[in-house]
Amino acid sequence: MSDSLSDLILSLTPEDGSSIGNGALVALLREQLPNLTEEEYEAARDELIEEGLLERGRGRGGSVFRNIHSAEDEDETEENDEDFELAPTDEPTPRQRKASAKKKPARRSNGAVQVLSYRHKESRVNNPEVGMVHADTDPDGEKTSWAYDPHLDPVLNFDSARAGVERLIENALASEDPDRMKEALTELKRLQTPYLNWTGKAEKTSFEVDTVSLHVHERVDPATILANAAKRFKGKDGAAQWQQADLFAAPFENLPLRQALDFYHHEKGWSNRLVAGDSLLVMNSLLTKESMGGKVQMIYIDPPYGIKYGSNFQPFTNKRDVKDRSDQDLTQEPEMIKAFRDTWELGIHSYLTYLRDRLILSRELVTDTGSVFVQISDENLHHVREMMDEIFGVENFVGIISFRKTTGQAGNFLPDTNDYIVWYAREKDAAKFNVVYQEREGFGWVNYDFIRHDEVAFRKMTKAEKNNQEKLPKSAIIYRRSPLTSASSSESTLMPFDAFGQRFKPGKGGWKTNSEGLCKLHRSGRLESYGSTLAFRRYTNDFPFFPYSNNWTDTASGGYGADKTYVVQTNAKVIERCLLMTTDPGDLVLDPTCGSGTTAFAAEKWGRRWITCDTSRVAITLAKQRLMTASFDYYALRYSQEGLKGGFDYETVPHITLKSIANNPDIDTIYDEDHPKIEAARNGLNAALTSTPPKPLKPTQGVRKGKPVDFTKGETLHEWEVPFDWPDDWPEAARASFDAFHAARRSMQRRMDQSIADHAEQETLYDKPRVDTSKRRICGPFSVEAVPAPTVLSLDENFGPEEADASIARTGETSRQSLWRDELLKTGVRGKGGNMMHFAEFETLPSTRYLHASGSLADTGERVVVSFGPEHAALEQRQVEEAMNEAYALMPKPKYLLFCAFTFDPEAAKDIDEMNVPGMTFLKVQMNTDLLTEDLKKKRASNESFWLMGQPEVELRKRDDDLWEVEVHGFDYFNPKSGEIESGGKKQIAMWSLDTDYDQRSLMPHQVFFPMADSKGGWNRLKQTVRAELDEDLLEQFHGAVSLPFEAGDNKRIAVKIVDDRGIESLKIVPLEG
């Protein structure tokens, strides 16, 4: 019978993985096996659980569900779950408020533990890799024009006093006085202007954005990097355990050369994206170049709150304390200076334009089921709300969330302790929304003042029990009297209901269920009378959770927010909650205000795809480091063969509701089967009491509450009037019936409780996916990309007047080049050791676009030409190529070509260093950002305006074992305090990376080092569970300046990228020879 019983149990267990209660399953089994005992069922059930075909579920009577992840159903998927095992949970005790129960540890295989990252099956288009970009393959694109919506909501934007002005017009017309008519019309015109109006809004109906490609500079896969530090087991290569399980697929797909050069026309495997550049340019590129309109599920925007330096930029990767109006703390990044100017050039007016433009593109990017969140302080909350009403429509407003900040700002009045999130949906009626629950604590348990004990006894808690629940009876379940009436009603819920010997009416509203539902509530022991009304007994373990409201008070500390690395960093818990509410695993999240990468970190943690961008190189460096060194729990997949799109295997909790009890078909069946036993015992009890009457008894509930029942007059007890404790004066002849009565009540109540638990709905806890402890997880692959600067114009081209426009996407064209030329002629260029390059004269070159000045050296007369980089962006490699071609065509050829820029794209700097044209010398000249910030600083930091930049100093060595190693010694930098060019030692290197097989397309680091990291930084951020799988000695070398030994790759060249503490990158390519 055992095998047939096991087969029958499996056939009756839902195939979709949902649970079925043990009681319900036994009832179904007995329909075919009437003589089945509980012991036989439990033995067969436990055997199936042992074999891994079933798993234990939750509920007071327990439940089971199919293990859809059992070994025979497993496939070799990209998550490699062949050792996958769900961790069963224990049933909570009745008083236990926490739904999360202890889990058995998952099985672990012998030897090394797998360290994995989630991979996404989606694809992305092949945007250009920076090493394949030149002027012909990726020319400047046309501008894209975006129109503003001319429609303004009259309810939001117009004065309600307009009716009064119309009466004024009528009176003026009646008077036939021309002056009064003119005044009335002027007032009407004024009131027709929208309230939310600012300088530049009314004058413009559209805005233009440069259409640029996003260039891939790096392809980062932390698994590839950490594989070099993995422990070795049994003589095997430790890197093997770090490989992905999908046939050891490469983390990045390298397209064939012909397809790789055909930008944006081919698909390749998905990798997440960290982009350096203005968010408006990035979003426009995603829309126009990659056709990503309507493909983003969630957008989170955290714009600057106010006009202080400290809320806008951080100058160094290791310095988070930024003082407002401090020259030392003013950023040296030209992109950030432009961002600051364009955001606040006209105060709130340019700020609103900055935000509006990005919100318009956000609306185009987000899918119909998607959401947009804007984080803001109370300073500009009202403006953001009004603007988003206009862009998304007031009908798509979802809510404003207030959340507690880590610290409150003291002021003259109330302390500022909250920030706010404004939430709009693209289409509110279609918006995706997952309910995220929190455990009831504190005020969540208000009015839970009563207890049920010994299954059938009810009373109010004593004061001592409320103050210390340890004093409650062990069998106690706390409950509250919940209203049974509703403000709304229907014909079926207005009838009176008889219970406890009296008739109850619902009052002005109606009952929350019909008469049949009320009867089931009464029969299951869920109704209680007090006064003239009925209440529903709501137990603490019915559902010890409740949804989050729009006031989040638990975000003041904890998570990554407790250890900030960026000056304006949001607690990860805030963004995670928004993400969990509006996205599912595999969905795409965009954050155009990256900062330290909190949104990307949260998205990676919860298995979402992500794209994030920031103007600041410091922010990008911090985010890259944070993501590379991140580690997470491995959340088990619900359907491993479907990957992340199948979702996680979440914890669930039963949710017992009034509705589920009122609709429970088993209640009446149990009552009809068990209640006759209660009635028979009650009749026997009453017979014994009337034959030997004790003193009168006062019932504690019902119509006779507090009134004596006189047994000498033949009065009898109703079911709800029988006391729970045996009265001392009752005759012994009544004891047997008394005990039988309560035994029958307990028996029926247990069956009722079990049936209620079995029919309870299961609520998904989206913030509690089940953790597979046999696996470790690190960050998945991501690309580091950058927005290229539009190429500059020559000096003789006509410049129109520059508007006071807040669009950060202005071109790199600049009218300041003549000022720079004059400054270069006046100050010259400082070299190392105090050497100076002075010039005799400069003039413009009318026939060139990329060469902006031509002159001669003062001491030798040798010809010099100059190419100035963009005013607010990095000089990039296309300008280097075009300027070199123009210089080569000049007659006579110049001796020197100077590339002068505030910052250099690392590829451009590498190209300048590698240029080799006979008779010509190419030099990189750093421009002092004081030339951009004279109005923002109290005084200049230095009188030097131009200085030569050297190459990063890298030493390549071949070892005796034929392996190679690299040591970085630093780079040259200008010290504004001393006014000298100094050799930067290793102490200024924030991060350096090594590609041991550089393919000339983009950098793919195999080793990454953090020389400035302390004991809690760099790779030390990895969770201890991940570090346990690494060789600590090898990992420690990842914080130094000497690489691990490596073999020569197929390409026979390496690439070394050095990032200093200002976020400035230098790239060095070295061939492997010998």
* CATH code for the domain of 917: 3.40.1350
pLDDT score for 809: 33
Q: Is the predicted pLDDT of residue 439 greater than 80, yes or no? A: yes
pLDDT score for 151: 46
Q: Strand ranges (DSSP E) for 191-350?
A: 206-210, 215-220, 267-269, 272-276, 296-301
pLDDT score for 951: 76
User: In degrees, to the nearest 5, what angle opens at C-alpha 343 toward C-alphas 338 and 349?
Assistant: 145
Residue 784 in any domain: the answer is no
Q: Is the predicted pLDDT of residue 424 greater than 70, yes or no? A: yes
Looking at the fold, whether 355 and 297 belong to one and the same domain comes out as yes
Q: The domain that contains 328 carries what CATH number?
A: 3.40.50.150
Q: Is the predicted pLDDT of residue 237 greater than 80, yes or no? A: no
pLDDT score for 798: 36
Q: Contact, 220 vs 624, CB < 8 A? A: yes
Looking at the fold, whether 381 and 248 belong to one and the same domain comes out as yes
What band does 287 get if pLDDT is binned at 50, 70 and 90?
A: very high
Q: Minimal CA–CA distance to 60: which of 538, 763, 753, 764? A: 753
Q: Contact, 363 vs 391, CB < 8 A? A: yes
Distance CA 84, CA 67 (A): 10
> Pseudo-torsion of CA 636, 637, 640, 643, nearest 10°?
-130
pLDDT, tens only, 710-732: 999 999 999 999 999 999 999 99
- Domain carrying residue 1021: 954-970+985-1071
Looking at the fold, whether 256 and 374 belong to one and the same domain comes out as yes
Q: Strand ranges (DSSP E) for 657-781?
A: 761-769, 775-778
pLDDT score for 547: 94
Cβ count within 10 A of residue 975: 13
Q: Is the predicted pLDDT of residue 673 greater than 80, yes or no? A: yes
Phi, psi of 989 (to 5 degrees): -85, 115
pLDDT score for 1023: 84
**Beta bridge partners of residue 966, listed in sequence order:** 956
For the residues 224-242, what does the mean pLDDT come to? 66
Q: How far is CA 863 from the centre of its chain?
A: 55
Q: Is the predicted pLDDT of residue 1007 greater than 90, yes or no? A: yes
pLDDT score for 566: 43
pLDDT score for 124: 94
- Is 936 or 465 the better-scoring residue by pLDDT? 465
Q: Pull the structure tokens for residue 657.
A: 């509701």
Alpha helices in 158-207 (DSSP H): 162-175, 178-191
- Is 977 or 925 the better-scoring residue by pLDDT? 925
pLDDT score for 785: 95
- For helices 515-523 and 666-691, angle between their N-to-C axes, nearest 10 degrees: 60
What band does 640 get if pLDDT is binned at 50, 70 and 90?
A: confident
pLDDT score for 84: 27
Residue 128 in any domain: the answer is no
Looking at the fold, whether 371 and 391 belong to one and the same domain comes out as yes
Q: Contact, 546 vs 438, CB < 8 A? A: yes
pLDDT score for 165: 57
**Beta bridge partners of residue 613, listed in sequence order:** 275
pLDDT score for 181: 74
Q: Minimal CA–CA distance to 869: which of 880, 855, 885? A: 880
pLDDT score for 472: 94
How buried is 918 (Cβ within 10 angstroms: 0-12 exposed, 13-18 middle, 19+ buried)? exposed
Domain-terminating residue out of 498, 521, 543: 543
Looking at the fold, whether 312 and 228 belong to one and the same domain comes out as yes
Percent of the chain's residues with pLDDT above 70: 78
pLDDT score for 316: 45
Q: Strand ranges (DSSP E) for 886-920?
A: 896-901
Residue 856 in any domain: the answer is yes
Q: Listing from the earlier edge strand, what are the strands of the sheet with 609-614?
A: 215-220, 782-786, 272-276, 609-614, 588-591, 296-301, 366-376, 416-425, 397-409, 551-552
Q: Is the predicted pLDDT of residue 197 greater than 90, yes or no? A: no
Residue 808 in any domain: the answer is no
Q: Of 80-89, 112-121, 186-195, 429-438, give the range with the top mean pLDDT.
A: 429-438
Domain-terminating residue out of 527, 543, 559: 543
Lowest average pLDDT, out of 410-424, 427-441, 779-793, 846-860, goes to 779-793
Domain-terminating residue out of 620, 650, 680: 650
Cis amide bond preceding 788, omega within 30: no
Q: Pull the structure tokens for residue 756.
A: 């209620």
Mean pLDDT of the chain: 81
pLDDT score for 66: 81
Q: Is the predicted pLDDT of residue 110 greater than 50, yes or no? A: no
What's the one-letter identity of residue 909? Answer: A
Distance CA 561, CA 983 (A): 36
Lowest average pLDDT, out of 328-332, 650-654, 676-680, goes to 328-332
Residue 655 in any domain: the answer is no
Looking at the fold, whether 247 and 361 belong to one and the same domain comes out as yes
Looking at the fold, whether 201 and 257 belong to one and the same domain comes out as no
Looking at the fold, whether 921 and 1044 belong to one and the same domain comes out as no
For the residues 456-463, what does the mean pLDDT come to? 94
- Is 50 or 690 the better-scoring residue by pLDDT? 690
pLDDT score for 138: 84
Q: Minimal CA–CA distance to 778: which of 122, 251, 40, 178? A: 251
Buried b (16+ CB within 10 A) or exposed e, 633-652: bbbbbbebeebbebbbbbbb
Number of H helices and E strands in the chain, helices first, is 25, 48
**pTM, 2 dp:** 0.77
Distance CA 1021, CA 1014 (A): 10
Looking at the fold, whether 255 and 398 belong to one and the same domain comes out as yes
Q: Minimal CA–CA distance to 477: which of 763, 761, 60? A: 60
Distance CA 349, CA 329 (A): 26
Distance CA 30, CA 115 (A): 47
pLDDT, tens only, 522-557: 999 999 998 889 999 999 999 999 999 999 988 885
What band does 813 get if pLDDT is binned at 50, 70 and 90?
A: very low
- Is 486 or 804 the better-scoring residue by pLDDT? 486
Distance CA 775, CA 634 (A): 6
What band does 30 get if pLDDT is binned at 50, 70 and 90?
A: confident
pLDDT score for 913: 87
pLDDT score for 102: 36
Alpha helices in 648-729 (DSSP H): 658-662, 666-691
Q: How far is CA 119 from the centre of its chain?
A: 17
Phi, psi of 296 (to 5 degrees): -100, 130
- Is 55 or 747 the better-scoring residue by pLDDT? 747
Looking at the fold, whether 244 and 355 belong to one and the same domain comes out as yes
pLDDT score for 246: 41
For the residues 466-495, what does the mean pLDDT come to? 91
Residue 852 in any domain: the answer is yes
Looking at the fold, whether 751 and 871 belong to one and the same domain comes out as no
Lowest average pLDDT, out of 60-64, 194-198, 725-729, 760-764, goes to 194-198
For the residues 987-996, what does the mean pLDDT come to? 88
Q: What is the domain count for the chain?
A: 7
pLDDT score for 93: 34
Place of tokens 């008083």: 95
Cβ count within 10 A of residue 281: 24
Looking at the fold, whether 733 and 618 belong to one and the same domain comes out as no
Residue 772 in any domain: the answer is no
Q: Is the predicted pLDDT of residue 409 greater than 80, yes or no? A: no
Q: Of 85-94, 341-350, 1004-1013, give the range with the top mean pLDDT.
A: 1004-1013
For the residues 907-911, what does the mean pLDDT come to? 89
- Is 16 or 533 the better-scoring residue by pLDDT? 533
What band does 1029 get if pLDDT is binned at 50, 70 and 90?
A: confident
Residue 778 in any domain: the answer is no
Q: Is the predicted pLDDT of residue 75 greater than 80, yes or no? A: no
Q: Is the predicted pLDDT of residue 443 greater than 80, yes or no? A: no
pLDDT, tens only, 360-397: 999 999 999 999 999 998 888 998 999 999 999 999 99
Lowest average pLDDT, out of 95-99, 184-188, 851-855, goes to 95-99
For the residues 851-871, what does the mean pLDDT come to? 93
- Is 492 or 175 the better-scoring residue by pLDDT? 492
